[in-house]
Structure 1
Amino acid sequence: MIKNLFASIPLSLEAEQFEELAGGKDVRVERIVSRGHASPEHGWYDQPQHEWVVVLQGRAVLAFEQGDDVVLAPGDHLTIPAHCRHRVKWTDPQQATLWLAVHYSA
């Protein structure tokens, strides 16, 4: 069955929307939809797997505990190593920010 990453994007969201698209033993692919969402000020993601993430639409800022903020626009992507503490600092409140994230083991 064909699905579209840009379909069914809600106009408003109380919380970020996470949707697993595919996965297996050592990999998980998910679509994330944000609209003005951010991680808690003192809440860091500390994931056991690496994460490759791309912004398909919208804009976002990721903050890293041991580094600078990273601004992401459509098409921008990066790999976040396992246990690299990070958080979503900002997403565009005027439009949906659509992410594609791939979590994988080394």
Structure 2
Amino acid sequence: MKNLFASIPDDLDDELFEEIVRGETVRVERIVSRGHRSPAEGWHDQSWHEWVLVLEGGAILAFEDGEEVTLGPGDHLEIAAHRKHRVKWTAPERATLWLAVHYPA
């Protein structure tokens, strides 16, 4: 048995991505951020759908169309394949713990 809230490092130079489970068409990962964000230039443009859930902490996702979504504990969002997005902000003073599910478009 494992716990999503266990083994969260105090210092994170980079975001931490850990695959929890993978099937033929689905991948689930835990992401830990602390003040991390995407580069100011460029967008994530994925060929798969992604569903994200913030378990603790907080984040702001920005989309190429100008929409911004603020996420806190319990908030979740589906990001459609090829919807260009970036992480604009994550809480700097505490870990933001995400659960991400990737699945085919």
TM-score (norm 2): 0.98
For residue 54 of structure 1, what is the aligned residue in structure 2?
Answer: 53
Q: Does 1:10 align with 2:9?
A: yes
Instruction: Give 1:9-88 correspondences, 5 Å limit.
Output: 9-88=8-87
Alignment gaps of 5+ in structure 1: none
Aligned alpha-carbon RMSD (Å): 0.7
Q: Distance in 2 between matches of 1:42 and 1:27?
A: 29
Q: Cα offset for 1:25?
A: 1.6
Q: Cα offset for 1:68?
A: 1.3
Runs of 4+ in 1 over 2 A off after TM superposition: none
Report the AA paired with residue 19 of structure 1: E
Report the AA paired with residue 62 of structure 1: L
Count of aligned pairs between the two proteins: 105
Q: Cα offset for 1:67?
A: 3.1
Q: Distance in 2 between matches of 1:41 and 1:85?
A: 13
Q: Distance in 2 between matches of 1:67 and 1:79?
A: 17
Report the AA paired with residue 64 of structure 1: F
Q: Cα offset for 1:66?
A: 1.1
Alignment gaps of 5+ in structure 2: none
Q: Cα offset for 1:74?
A: 0.2
Report the AA paired with residue 19 of structure 2: E
Report the AA paired with residue 11 of structure 1: D
What percentage of aligned pairs have identical amino acids? 68
Q: Distance in 2 between matches of 1:84 and 1:26?
A: 19
